[in-house]
Structure formats: structure tokens, C-alpha cells
Structure 1
Amino acid sequence: MYELENVLRPYAWGSTTAIAGLLGRPASGGPEAELWIGAHPDSPSTALTSTDGVAAGDGGRQALDALIARDPEHYLGGESVAEFGPRLPFLLKVLAAERPLSLQVHPTQDQARAGFAREEAAGVDRGAATRNYKDDNHKPEMIFALTRFEALCGFRPAAESRAVFRHLAECFGLAGLELPPLIPRLLEDLAQPDEPAALHAAFGRLIAGGENVAQATASIIAALVSGASTGAYTAELSTVVSLNEEYPGDPGVLISLLLNRISLAPGEAVYLPAGNVHAYLRGLGIEVMASSDNVLRGGLTPKFVDVPELLKTIGFEAAGVPRLGAESTMLGQEVFRPPFREFQLQRVQLFPGAEPVPLAQAGAAVIIVVSGAVMLDSPKGDLRLERGASAFLPAAEAPVNVHAVAGATGPALAFAVTTGMKA
């Protein structure tokens, strides 16, 4: 087992205090958006290898992707290598959003492979702002809320979105204001009997942007801030106002009205398959995904938006919010199993004197402690982790048990990720 040092991404939308507060360390003074725990080549964790004779000569530290490359079957397990190749198939992030992230969607595996090959063949630099596919992998993901977590997630039924725009039209009529021409056109789009076609038409009209979308957004915002009734749509229309404060006139402001507006309580989770349009708005959570950085953006961002590629990637089916319930495997342990083979998330809470919890480990695992301290033991040795510490658990060292630390005065809480394969 290897304790890890991890890369902190300082994106501008990140909280300045949330990750530091969770992990019990001083804040850096700048935005702290994502803590990456894994072996993604863009920001691999560093494994502390000073006690590992096999890795001797590396100065006691080695990038986790390089360590795994020494002996993939030892570190990942033969079944994982056979299915996912010689790379850690998942990535864990601690995510802290103080401001909205971009509206985005992730490709399917086939789309990622084709898009990556196409851009490689065209010679598009992997660091270019116009690059869509950074790697050849898909990026299904899930988010577990540590605090109240606000998000947009997937298309709502076209009829529900139409009702919101119809309410806005009525507000303009009651106030004697000129109705922006965009609203009747969206009402026509959303009235189409084929729901995917209706959502595609409305989304396509908005993502095209231009002066008519910017003007309509400005008119709607002016009506709302001057006291127009939000009716039954307070959450949705308040979100429109707050998004416009961050990204005035951006197409994503009104696109938000096509999407499910969700609020997760601490302990709740959702999963996001390929094609799901989403945006995290605010909150602290544990995010888990396949090891990829492929993102097609659709607004709420100054970054590149490739509209044709985006439209090919989105699934235009309305669906309920893909909530993910926990399976309680034993006292103190919950397992969240999304319908993806690359990963599952375990939440382990141990009170002083509690019996040890065996991790449901298939292949390699990573673990982070967010409260108290734990002791890990395996057939190859043991490792103590304090609050804020994390570790990589090779497949060859399973099974691993998580123990409460003797003499502890409060509960310990840790999150572990392993593959979604059967242990």
C-alpha cells in the first residue's frame, strides 16, 4: 500500500475554503476546485515508495501511472488489465464548486475513440484550446454530495420546459412588455410530438446563440429582477438569474430551463452516463469517473464550444434524474454501484471500538480519509492514514480491512474507489 500526494487543480470556479476545511489543512489562499486522486497522465498522484524494495532507486517517490506501468497485473489485477488495459480505470476527485461549472457532456466509448483518432490524424495539438478529445476513453461519472449540492442534470420532459417558457410569456403579457420573438419559437419547438426532436430543436436554437438569444435573455432577466412572478418555477428562474450574473447572455442561461434542476442533500448521489447534459452549480462532493478528461462544452464558459460535435454527442431523451442509492453491505459501509464497470464508491464510517470493515475490492483501489484516522491492513502489511491522507491499494495486496484507530475519540470517515467488477 502506498500513501499518496495528490494534485490540486485551482480552477477559477473553485471554493477557497471547502477542500481545505474537509481535509483539515490550511487554505492556500486561492481557488481550490478539484483534488485529483489517481493515475490520469495529466495529473497523476505521487506514490510514496520509500519502504518498497521493488521500487527502490526512485528516491522514495514515483508518479502513480509510472509505478503501475512497472507491473500492471500486480498493481491492477489481471481481470482489470484484460478489460481496461494497463491503466487505472478510474479517477477520484474531491470537487468544490463556489461558482457554476461549464454546461457539458461526455462522449460514448466509440465517440471518444473515433474523435481522438480523428484529431490525432489531423495533427491537433493535445493542449490546443480547440481540441475536443484529450484521450480515447469515455467518461461516465458520479457525484456524491458532502454538502448541499446544486446541479443541472439531463433533459426534463419537453412539456415541462414548455410550461416554463409559457409562464414567461404570460409574465410579459401581464406586464405589458414586448414578448421576445425567441420565446414563441421555443414554444413551437417544444410542442413537437416527437420528444427527442423537440428537445433537439430547442437546444439547437439556443446553442446557436447570436443576438436574438442574447436579447431574449436580457429581456427575461430584466422582467425577473423587476418583480415578475416566478410562480411554480422559483428554483429554475432563480437559477437563470444567477447564471446570467456569471455569464451574461450566454446560451447556457436559457438552456438551463431545458434541464432538470436538482439539489442533493449530503449523502445523496447521482450518476451521469454518456450524452447527459449537466452542470455542477455549487457544493462540495466526491466525484468519481472513468479515467478520462474528455469534455464537450455547451455554454456557461469562455472556453471553446464545438456546436456540431456537441450536437452529435448529446442524447436528446428526457429522463428522470439518475439518482444512485447505496447498498449497505455491513455496519459502517455503504457501496454505490453505478451501471459502469470502471468504478464503484464505498463510504466507510467507523466509530471507536467498531469491528473492521473489509473493502469490497476488485482490482486496485484508492482511499481518502476525510474525518478521524483509520488503519488499513492487508496480507502485505498495514498503513495508518490520518484525516486528509490518501492511499493506493494494489490488487495484489487485497483483501484490505479498514480499522478504527485504537484510542480515537470520534468517528472516522473514508471514501474508497475500486472497479465495478465483482470482487
Structure 2
Amino acid sequence: MAANSGAGKWILASVLALAAIAGGVYFFYPAGDEPGPAEGGGLTIEQRVALVEEQNVAVGLLENGRNGDAAERYALMVTAAPGEMLPLRNLVIARLLGLDELKQRMLAEAAADDVRDAAMRAAVKSAIDAAEQLVDRQPDASTAHWLAALAWMAEQPVPPDPEALQRALAHLEAASATAGEVVARYALFDMTQHADDPALVARGQAALREAYEAAPNNLTLLRYWLVTQARRQDKDIVKTLTDAKAVIQPLKKRTTIDLEQLLQDAYQAVDDGNWQVVFAKVSGFSNVISSDDFTRSDLKRVAPHPLEFVLHRFSDEFYVGLPEIDWDESTAIAIQLRPADEAKWPAIEATGVTDLRAIDVNFDNAVDVVSIEPKRLKIHTRDEAAAAWTLAAEMELPEGLEQFVMADLFMVDSTRRP
């Protein structure tokens, strides 16, 4: 944002009409003079227009963490449009994500253990019921079975309830029937890798092998499959080690560890029949690449967030007969400039400002201003007592630098690690 001289005397106040709660967006269709004929699933045009608007509110709630509110809306939409898949799938996702929301609310309210447990059991059951209904509607859909597996394993203790585990595994195996499906196969492996039952472990390892064969360039699948092969003393690991050398090329410059040497040492240890060394080398390789951004990105591909499966459109039939959206591109957002309270926000004297940001630079819980002028970067802090801005720091910049990017390195994530 470019700032002109004396711009500190003004505050830009934008009057925005929020079209829906929590970031949801309404799409308005013009209503006809008379109710239209029933087209999509026996619903009138007016009913479908209302559902489109309701969906946009509900998805806004869902994507902004208000999962309980979203679930209530989707439950009503399931009743209103029983033939549509969108409300039912999104209801399952909302109820799944709402479990943590409910748990946090119960903790905040200091609910008694029996009250909290009863509420969580009821919420889990409602998620399972919706997921099983979705599977009944789409028995061959891998996404439906994957969501059902998540529902059955939700809030499970360690080790999980045997019946819940078996139901979840059955759903994942049904989802794995789709050729090339890696999400369900990885979930099956992840769910069983620490099981006490060797048969379950073998079941998961077989799923991991199929997932790796379907996506051999996925670093997450690669690292787990190498460790699994080493643990099983599988001589086919030689091919995996060979193929891995090409896959890891982008990582070589991102670590001081010689990844190719680890793979070569493991390869040699296979020839020597020393499986203890093989396991040590591939475990070290796995640990080194596990925290790399590329590997984390690949993890998201095989273990996606449920929100990635939210539906945003109804079926094509649903929209038959609906009028086109009446976009008026000439409608502008009303913008009004008003003088700032100069006692609170005195002007910053600046000339030729090309970029300006407000940020708490010195962590004193007060707003500071960082600006770029020709060949200078300046940081102004506000003197509360004097009601004035003070130039706290400045530095010379090379010719031509006109903008900057802010990064808060004080706390990079919710684990509070610097």
C-alpha cells in the first residue's frame, strides 16, 4: 500500500457489508414473479435459491471453525434436500471437526467428567450415524468410507475399542478398492503400525506397500516403506533404495547430512546381510527427511484435512432452471475518509513513502509503524506520554527497494517454539 506525505493524519474506514456470518458469502439470485416448476429433486426454484444461500453461510461457518453451527445448518439441509450429496457429506465433516470444538468448550466450562463423557459419546455417535448414512448413499465412494473410518476412530483410547477399530479398518479397505487410492491405504497403515496383533500390523504394511507403489515419489510413503522393509528384512529394499536416490534430489541442498551416503550404506549392508545396519541407516534417513517441508507437504497429500473434501456445489440437476446470478459490476463498496484522532494518532512526518505497515516491533503491545522512503527503512514508535511518534530506528536501503514483507519470528507456531 502506497502512503503519501501526511497520510498519517487520515484513517481509511471501509464500510463492508458482511454477506454471511464468519466469512460466508451469499450469492443472490433474482426471484421470479411466480414460483418456478420443481426441477432439482422436486424442489422449487425458491427452495433451491434458499438452499444455495444457506450453503454459503454454512460453508463459511465450517471453514472458520464454527463447526457446531455449521452442523446444525447442514442437518436441516439434509432434511430439506434428501437427494443431494452436499449437505450430507458436509454434515459428516462438520460433526467430525466439531468434536474438538465440543471438547474444548466442555473444558472451558469445567464440566463434570460424566457430563463431558456423555456429551462426547453423543457427539461421536452423531458423527458415526451421519457417516454411515453417507456410506449407504455412496457405497463405492472412497471418500465416504474414509470419513466413516475417521468417525469410528474419533476419541478412541489407546488401544482403541476392538469393534470400533474393525469397523474403521473395514471402511478403509473398502476405500482402498479404488485403484491408486493412497489416502485410505496410508490411513490403514497409520492406524495399525503400533498394534499388538501381528496380523493387523501385516495388514497395514500391505496397505503401505500398495500406497508406495501407487505414489513412489511421495517422501512420506518412501520413508515409512524403507523402514518397514528394513524391519521385515525384505531384500526388495534394494530397488526402493535405488529409486530413492532420484526422489531425494531436491532435498540434498536442504540438509548437511549426506542422504545419498545413508542410502548407499544401507544398500551395502543389504549385500553384507547386516540388517541391523540396514535398519539403522534407513531409520536415520527417515528421521532426517521427516521434518523437511517437502516431506511435510507430501504428508498432507496422504493424510489430508477433512476440509479438503467439503463440497461447494450441489448436483448439476439441482441448478436446472435457476436464473443466472445478477452480477452488477458497477456496484462499488462505499469508502469514506475521516480525520483521525490526532491526539491518539499524531502525524508521522514522511516524504515519498512507498510502503508502510503497522506492527508491534518491540513487543510492548503497542502499534509501531515501519515505512520505506527512498533508500531508507524507518521504524517509528509512539511515545504515549508525549502523544508523538519517535523515530526509533532506520537503515539505508539499496536503490529501487520500495516494498517489504513482514514475518513474525517471535512465535512461529502454536507449540510456542521460537
* Smaller-chain TM-score bracket: under 0.3
Greater percentage in helix: 2
Q: Which has the higher contact order (CA 8 A, sep 6+)?
A: 1
- Which structure has the larger Rg? 2
Greater percentage in strand: 1
User: Could you state the TM-score of these two structures normalised by the residue count of structure 1?
Assistant: 0.22
